[in-house]
Amino acid sequence: MINDKIKSLLNPAQRQSFVISVTAFFSTLLLLVLGSILALVIYRGTAYFWPEPIYSVAFVSQQDNRATVVYAQIYSEFEEDGKQVRWLRYSHEDNPFGTQILLDEKDTLSVIESANGANITLNDGLSVMGVPVRINGSASAAFSEQHYEVMRKKVDEIDASITDIRTRWLSEIHQKLAELDQLNVARDAPAREKLNDAFHQWQSRIIAMENERDNFSIEVAMADGAVVPIALARIQDIVFPGQLSFVGKIAVTFTKIGQFLSQSPKQANTAGGVFPALFGTVLMVFLMTIIVTPFGVLAAVYLSEYAPNTLLTGVIRVSVANMAGVPSIVYGVFGLGFFVYTMGGNIDALFFSDSLPAPTLGTPGLFWASLTMAMLTLPVVIVATEEGLRQVPTGLRAGSYALGATKAETIIYTVLPIASPGIMTGVILAIARAAGEVAPLMIVGAVKFAPNLPFDGEFPYLHLDRQFMHLGVLIYDGAFHSQTDAKGASMMFATCLLLLLVVLVLNVLAVLLRARLRKRYLTN
Amino acid sequence: MLKLFEHETLNVHNLSDEETAIRVEDLSLSFGQKQVLQNISLSIPKHRITAFIGQSGCGKSTLISSFNRMNELAPDCRYSGKVFINGRDINSRKENLSQLRAQVGMVFQKPNPFPMSIYDNVSYGLKLQGIRVRRFLDDAVEQALKDAALWSEVKDRLFESAHVLSGGQQQRLVIARALALKPDILLLDEPTSALDPLTTLFIEELMAGLKKRCSIIIVTHNMQQAARVSDYTAFLHQGKLIEYTDSDTLFTMPEYKQTEDYITGRYG
Amino acid sequence: MSRQVALNTHISGKFNTELENLRNSVLTMGGEVEQQLVDTLNAIKSNNAGLAEKVILNDLKVNAMEMQIDEECLRIIAKRHPTASDLRLVMMVSKAITDIERMGDEIERIARLVTKNKLPSSEIIKSSMLLIGERVIQMMRGTFDALARQDEHAALEVYDQDNRIDAEYKKLLKYTTSEMQKSTEDMQDWLEVLWALRSLERIGDRCKNICEYVVYLARGTDVRHSPLENMQQKLNQLSS
């Protein structure tokens, strides 16, 4: 009926362009959605790295009705009930490390961009906005960047010698003392006393040096003139947004990106970097790939090459295809119930019984997470591999059989290499899926904050039992923080951007690999 | 009496054991419900080219596939009767399938080089036989490629992918792959149907040269090809062996009307 | 374009050999027939009945050769499906051997003059006959030579020689009829002589046929049943 109506309204050429328009409209819509997601993530993500200007804001405090002048950064400005509202974070003498406030227009007295205001980031992720005025140290003087550099160098030198003493002398003494303990040497043996003397000597030197180091500090003036001293050793960097040129801002951005990628999260995942999460994500995906590829390929080989063509095989095939549609949280629950508690618990009971009741493998960890993700992505690999195997020309199999190869030899030497691009496709899809999943991971081993990386210099180097951080979990965490901390929200977007990049890089690598394989095993 | 032309012909219906490469006795074969071969008995002479001709589905490919037991790959294949190669029943339980297929090489319609280097293609069968000595493999590969008249074209690029070769070269590579195993018998299942006419002639000339090394059996849809290359020709029709004699006779004065109709292109 | 038939350039080595053998067999057959004529002329010269008998017996061999070559042509057509120059060669061979076999038959008829002892008593007739015979031998040699080399120009030259043979044949015929009128009692014998003379002349005509085949083989143009001038003209057109 509708068809007739369209026919009566439009001539054939119009009908064709109508169909083209309709289909093109939806494609465009899709592109737009994709584009806006990307634009939002890129815009909000990069904002985390861009040095924002510092304003000198005067306002009337709600608490004591007194006019206050502060240095502040404006996160957002918006209209509410026809009035302009600003969302600020400012430093004040009472709380130099930043307070957030929603400021109505009526309370605002003035907002002036400050030319010499600095954003001072500390090593623990906190930051102070203010004007550095003096540097105290071996000689006290007015603040200047050259002077700061000189002092900074001195502090770094002292820090370096402290670490040097710790690693070169103190650790040796510790080791020797431990040896003596093992040999049951008496408490008052001369060797032990000599060592103890040396230890105390070094220790007092370190304390002296630390005192010397802590003498170096800068005085930061707040907007109302109050001065806050900050130890130089605590400072990570000082940025003057008002004095930076565009190029300078870009340079600062890149430094910040570098810090973001290499540092650990600070201040409950609202500042600092994401290195452990990035590392955890990549390691988990890597382990998952190692687990899922052989399982998936072998299962697919059995299903497509050996399994008799019966109803049961058909049922198995359909089940495998449907496994891909099971909600991922179900896999998470299964992983927790079966892998962690049942398998892990039993392994603990069998092999690590001396450390019970503290669980070793019977607790969520990297290995169980990888295993769960492998299960989650297994159907993808199986289906893609089966498809790849089906595309191997029968002539090649026949050729291999005709040369005296058995079925297994034919599969290993001929069929699998040709199916490898198909297998790679499956693995790519599996990687993309695994890198983006969050829900099951939170149950089986990913945590908001892990004190140690799952990989370090300690035997056995790769700690499969450890919990790990994950970019997705960090984003999830950040989404909760965003209600209270604007900077944390911005870090969440930066993490999103990074996660997108990780997935993109992994995919591009896999696609390149597949292209190479396809070229190599191209069949006419 | 003066003889101007020498044409040697054996009586294929009365071959001695030394002259016989393959002897088929009363072979019947079916796939599921479909009877493909019916009571076929024939002897194929050694060091000659024997062609099987007939319409599509007449069972000629199935017949030569039963010489290296490739039919077994179909799960619903049933057969009765016997096939002897060098006096050995190849369907017996004692038969080593891998060795049989090394002894009876097979080349298919479409060139099917494996997706590996030319060298690996030719040494594939030898490696399956457990031969790993590099020097031996090198020699065998060179010899096989020379036998297949491909050596001069590929000797500088042995380790390149086999897919860079042209269709005719690929088919010769596949022949070399079979020859590397020093087969007694070479089965060619429409080896030139995917090739252009000139390349086809080169492959045919290669076959004529290979006669000295092994007995060649070729299945072809192309009657002219059968006439050109074969010494003996068998005509199959609907799973039955209609006529089997030397090619000169078959293509000049066939005995049976069905053969006559087929080779003259009449509706039979 | 030169249409010289290159027999040995096929991809199939066996086909090369077969065509080469076929051509050689025709030349062998031609040589055989040529030897027959030489023997016959010698038999006439020396009135050697034994030699003539051998010629008559030998004709069976020529006949057998024709059959074998014909069979081979059939075999090649059936199995090799020759085309273009190969096809012309096979067809030419098939036709030429018919002519060569006929030459053999004519020679046999001449040889029977000797075995039946019906040689003309006139020395003039005999020597003229031998003279024409020599010319025919020349022509045969030229023909087979042209055939061997597939040389259409040589073939045309040979073709030309037949006119002289015809002229001499007419002259000898006139002389013989006048002699016949002198001795009318053994008319039967004279008829034999006339037949033999005619046979000799017919051999020349057969050579002409073969020459035409050579032109056809080399040029792909059918020059049969056209006067010599036209032939020459056609050839010139083709060569230019």
Q: Is residue A281 predicted with pLDDT exceeding 80?
A: yes
CB-defined contacts A:B, below 8 A: 70
Q: Is residue A383 predicted with pLDDT exceeding 80?
A: yes
pLDDT tier, C1 (very low <50, low <70, confident <90, very high otherwise): very low
Q: Is residue A304 predicted with pLDDT exceeding 80?
A: yes
Over residues A34-57, the mean pLDDT reads 86
The residue of chain B nearest to residue A393, with distances taken between CA atoms, is B112
Which residues, in sequence order, are bridge partners of residue A130?
A: A118
Residues whose CB falls within 8 Å of the CB of residue B85, separated by 6 or more in sequence, listed in order: B21, B22, B67, B100, B103, B104, B184, B185
From chain A, the residues in CB contact with B99 under 8 A are 404
* CATH code of A344's domain: 1.10.3720.10
Q: What's residue C67's pLDDT?
A: 93
Q: What's residue C138's pLDDT?
A: 92
Q: What's residue B104's pLDDT?
A: 92
Q: What's residue A376's pLDDT?
A: 92
The region of weakest confidence among A195-199, A325-329, A405-409, B75-79 is: A195-199
- Min Cα separation B106/chain A (Å): 6
Q: Is residue A523 predicted with pLDDT exceeding 60?
A: no
pLDDT in tens, B10-26: 888 888 888 899 999 99
Work out the percent of chain C whose per-residue pLDDT is above 70: 93
- What gap in Å lies between CA B207 and CA B201, rounded to an integer? 10
What is the rounded average pLDDT for all residues in chain A?
Answer: 83
- Is A451 a domain residue? yes
Which residues, in sequence order, are bridge partners of residue A72?
A: A55, A90
Instruction: Say yes or no for a CB contact (<8 Å) between B114 and A406.
Output: no
Determine contact: B120 vs chain C, CB below 8 A: no
Q: Show which of residues 148-167 on chain B sit within 8 Å of chain C, judged by CB atoms.
A: none
- In SS3 terms, C99-125 reads as HHHHHHHHHHHHHHHHHCCCCCCCHHH
- Is A227 a domain residue? no
- Is A228 a domain residue? no
- The vertex-B243 CA angle with B242 and B249, nearest 5°, equals 155
In this complex, whether C and A touch, counting 3 or more CB pairs under 8 angstroms, is no
Pairing assessment for the beta strands A468-469 and A108-113 based on DSSP bridges = unpaired
What 3-state DSSP class applies to B268?
Answer: coil
Q: A218, A242, A268: which is closest to A96 by C-alpha?
A: A218
The residue of chain A nearest to residue B129, with distances taken between CA atoms, is A404
Q: How far apart are the first and last CA of chain A?
A: 48
Instruction: Say yes or no for a CB contact (<8 Å) between C79 and B4.
Output: no
Q: Is residue A413 predicted with pLDDT exceeding 50?
A: yes
Residue B2 has its nearest CB partner, among C64, C72, C78, at: C64
The region of weakest confidence among A44-58, A93-107, A411-425 is: A93-107
From chain A, the residues in CB contact with B173 under 8 A are none
- Is A406 a domain residue? yes
- Is A519 a domain residue? no
- Residues from B in contact with A at Cβ < 8 Å: 68, 70, 73, 97-102, 105-106, 108-110, 112, 114-116, 124-125, 128-129, 161, 163, 174, 177-178, 181
Where helices occur in A166-189 by DSSP H, the ranges are 171-182
Residue C75 has its nearest CB partner, among B202, B228, B248, at: B248
Over residues A102-108, the mean pLDDT reads 78
Contact indicator for A285, A376 with CB cutoff of 8 Å: no
- What gap in Å lies between CA A314 and CA A300, rounded to an integer? 13
From chain B, the residues in CB contact with A524 under 8 A are 163
Q: What's residue A106's pLDDT?
A: 77
- What gap in Å lies between CA A212 and CA A146, rounded to an integer? 21
Q: Which amino acid is at A240?
A: F
From chain B, the residues in CB contact with C13 under 8 A are 205, 208
Which residues, in sequence order, are bridge partners of residue B25?
A: B82
The residue of chain A nearest to residue B67, with distances taken between CA atoms, is A402
- Residues from C in contact with B at Cβ < 8 Å: 11-15, 21, 25, 28, 61, 64-65, 68-69, 72, 74-75, 78-81
Structure tokens at A35: 């584009």
Residues whose CB falls within 8 Å of the CB of residue A394, separated by 6 or more in sequence, listed in order: none
Residue B5 has its nearest CB partner, among C14, C21, C80, at: C21
Q: What's residue A487's pLDDT?
A: 59
Structure tokens at B199: 């390349």
Q: What's residue B245's pLDDT?
A: 92
Contact indicator for C210, C96 with CB cutoff of 8 Å: yes
Annotate B152-196 with DSSP letters as a single string.
Answer: HHHTT-TTSBGGGS-HHHHHHHHHHHHHTT--SEEEEESTTTTS-
Subunits with 3+ Cβ pairs within 8 Å of B are A, C
Determine contact: B251 vs chain C, CB below 8 A: yes
The residue of chain B nearest to residue C65, with distances taken between CA atoms, is B4
From chain C, the residues in CB contact with B205 under 8 A are 11-13
Q: Is residue A524 predicted with pLDDT exceeding 50?
A: no
Q: How many CB atoms lie within 10 A of CB A99?
A: 14
From chain B, the residues in CB contact with A414 under 8 A are 114-115
- Is A464 a domain residue? yes
Tally of structural domains, chain A: 1
pLDDT in tens, C69-107: 999 999 999 998 998 889 999 999 999 999 999 999 999
- What gap in Å lies between CA B110 and CA B192, rounded to an integer? 8
Q: What's residue A179's pLDDT?
A: 81
Q: What's residue B51's pLDDT?
A: 94
From chain B, the residues in CB contact with C21 under 8 A are 4-5
Structure tokens at C194: 């006339």
Answer with the residue of higher pLDDT: A81 or C89. C89
Over residues B146-173, the mean pLDDT reads 89
pLDDT in tens, A172-194: 888 887 887 777 777 777 777 88
From chain C, the residues in CB contact with B5 under 8 A are 21, 25, 68, 72
Chosen from C11, C14, C70, C77 to mutate, greatest number of chain B CBs within 10 A = C11
Q: Which amino acid is at A109?
A: L
From chain C, the residues in CB contact with B224 under 8 A are 81
Instruction: Say yes or no for a CB contact (<8 Å) between B102 and A393.
Output: no
Q: What's residue A81's pLDDT?
A: 77
* Owning domain of residue A452: 281-470
Work out the percent of chain C whose per-residue pLDDT is above 90: 47
In this complex, whether A and B touch, counting 3 or more CB pairs under 8 angstroms, is yes
pLDDT in tens, A215-235: 788 888 887 777 888 887 788
Give phi and psi for A434, each to the nearest 5.
Answer: -70, -40
The region of weakest confidence among A141-150, B49-58, C154-163, C178-187 is: A141-150
- Is A124 a domain residue? no
Residues whose CB falls within 8 Å of the CB of residue A152, separated by 6 or more in sequence, listed in order: A232, A235
Give phi and psi for C193, each to the nearest 5.
Answer: -65, -45
Chosen from B2, B3, B5 to mutate, greatest number of chain C CBs within 10 A = B5
Residue B227 has its nearest CB partner, among C28, C74, C78, at: C78
Work out the percent of chain B whose per-residue pLDDT is above 90: 45
Instruction: Say yes or no for a CB contact (<8 Å) between C68 and B247.
Output: no
pLDDT in tens, B29-42: 999 899 999 999 99
E strand spans, A157-245: 217-221, 227-231, 235-239
Instruction: Say yes or no for a CB contact (<8 Å) between A404 and B110.
Output: no
From chain B, the residues in CB contact with C81 under 8 A are 224, 227-228
- Is A83 a domain residue? no
Q: Is residue A64 predicted with pLDDT exceeding 90?
A: no
pLDDT tier, C235 (very low <50, low <70, confident <90, very high otherwise): low
pLDDT in tens, A459-499: 777 777 788 888 888 888 877 765 555 555 677 888 888 88
- In SS3 terms, A423-440 reads as HHHHHHHHHHHHHHCCHH
Q: What's residue A266's pLDDT?
A: 75
